Amino acid sequence: MMTIADMEKTIIERLKDRISGVEVIAFPEKPAEYKLLHHKGAILVSYRGSSFSEPRATDVVVQERKVELDIVVVMRHLRSHEGAYAYLDAVRTLLTGFRLPGCSKMYPLREEFISEEAGIWQYAITFAFTMPAIELVEEEQVVLLKKITVMDDYGITEVLR
């Protein structure tokens, strides 16, 4: 089963391998302190969250997990070949239909404008995919019977093991 960190790392590697000229990193842990230092821009990858279906089995919890990841495009230009629009198109093309191990193919859910400040444009594209969510089954501790004593109208019967 892929962890959230594995998903993020795999997406970052795919984007880094196929998109050049910009920084591709995990979303910063302190977004308010993030400063775009790259001369063109950056692509930031983050886990948005998951939703889960109702369990399908009665003896073991088996669910479908819908995972959402945000790809934030932060660029110094909007419409040029080095702008936010071009990188949004590139990210959508590279990730639509991409399959992480053990998951369904990725598909886009939405794209949206986040902000513009001092000529730095931010857009987000959200992708989703599904994967199984399965209970970690551990061997149940069962008390082994050593002696059974039954008392009825016929007397007391003992069975030893």
Could you read off the pLDDT of 97-137 as tens digits, one per residue?
999 999 999 999 999 999 999 999 999 999 999 999 888 87
CATH number, domain containing residue 85: 3.30.2000.10
β-pairing verdict for 23-26 and 41-52: parallel
Query: Which range of residues forms the domain containing residue 103?
Result: 4-160
Could you read off the pLDDT of 9-36 as tens digits, one per residue?
999 999 999 999 999 999 998 888 888 8
Number of domains in the chain: 1
Mean pLDDT across the stretch 77-105? 94
Comparing C-alpha atoms, which of 125, 142, 35 is closest to residue 88? Answer: 125
CA distance 142 to 90: 56
